[in-house]
Amino acid sequence: MMDQYWKLINIDKRCSLLNNHGVKLVTILSSGEPEQLIKLLSIPSRPAPRLSEAAFAAAKTRSSRSRLIALPQELIIIIVSYLINTTPAEDTLCLALSCAYFFRLLAPSMRSALATDTAPWAGDRLVLVGDYAEDVPSRIHPDEVEGWRRELEAECTMADHDSEEQFGRQSPLYNLDWRGIVSDEDAGIEEEGSPDPRLPFKGLWNRKPSGQDMFGLRRGALARNVRKRMWATSSSAQNEDAVTDDNLLDRVLELLKPAGTPRPATDRVLRNLTTRQYVRESELAAEGFENCLGEVICVLAQWAPYSSGTDKAAWAACRFDITSLDDLRKNGGEWEDTSEKAVDLLQEGTEGRRKEVRVSD
């Protein structure tokens, strides 16, 4: 069973993790590719902004010539609420860039949006699924599975599978990533039909569909899309106003960043939000598994015929994020430390190998 092919699937976003090194389990664990999950899942610690009534009033006075700000406050609140609740976050950020008053009014929403943009997979259901799998974890509702099967039948052709019989038998989880391949960065993802000769494997796992809109799937998509809007509204990329707007965006993003000293890597914890369990980075590092929180998901969230009902499938299709040990303790509640179990499964899964340094071109 160990020779089957594997994919790390984000169930909620219908995409899979970039893998340029291979699809066998021991290769995945030793390649360093699961390290991408650390960036995709790490939620920043963002303190609530402290904005006084006086600051709001002063900002509104400075922008009093704006016809939008001259509207009754009730209408302004309706407009802002509509943007926040029904439109992409980039619309709200663009309004926040228009003047000091809207920046202050929208700062809390922008911090929240940037946190999501920084960790776009935080809170999503993940599973490392093998191509031998035929069913799905029991925590997934049957109605959702049936919906996947109908969508897959509509989206995929039989040419994508060895046979119609295999397509009907194989778990729909394995083929759920038609929205594309996702990385923690842009580097390394090629368009379909343009193979990169530097990549040792030329399969679908290192491609994204040609022309696919990946907004909301990769880190930093929010700032990139706002920046594109700014430059698109300029008559030329050399336009002086475009450069000014670009610098303004950089300054605003800097203001919205969290304050304080970045937490050390050894203070990080991987949280299973479904089972309320966690794994400590420091415990892994002490056993020689540095930066292996992503690999923990690969050994505890497996889905294959032999793993069902075992520790290896205990976290299949659960929701995850990465935070600090201090933040975990501050949030309260009962949490179980499963670091020791994670170390045991990493030692078994890697077969004694230590992973290579991950390279991004």
Question: What is the number of domains present in the chain?
Answer: 2
Same domain, 114 and 222: yes
| Global confidence as pTM | 0.76
In a domain, 291, yes or no: yes
pLDDT digits (tens, 9 = 90+) for 14-37: 888 887 766 788 888 888 889 989
E strands present in 119-255: 125-130, 181-182, 190-191, 207-208
Phi, psi dihedral angles at 137 (to 5 degrees) = -60, 145
- Domain residues for the domain of 240 are 53-120+218-256
Same domain, 245 and 289: no
In a domain, 36, yes or no: no
pLDDT at 50: 64
pLDDT at residue 8 above 90? yes
pLDDT digits (tens, 9 = 90+) for 103-131: 888 888 888 888 788 888 999 999 999 88
pLDDT digits (tens, 9 = 90+) for 283-341: 999 998 988 999 999 999 999 887 766 778 999 999 999 999 988 888 778 999 999 99
Task: Indicate the residue among 238, 256, 274 that finishes a domain.
Answer: 256
In a domain, 294, yes or no: yes
- Residues 179 and 15 sit within 8 Å (Cβ to Cβ): yes
- Residues 7 and 174 sit within 8 Å (Cβ to Cβ): yes
In a domain, 5, yes or no: no
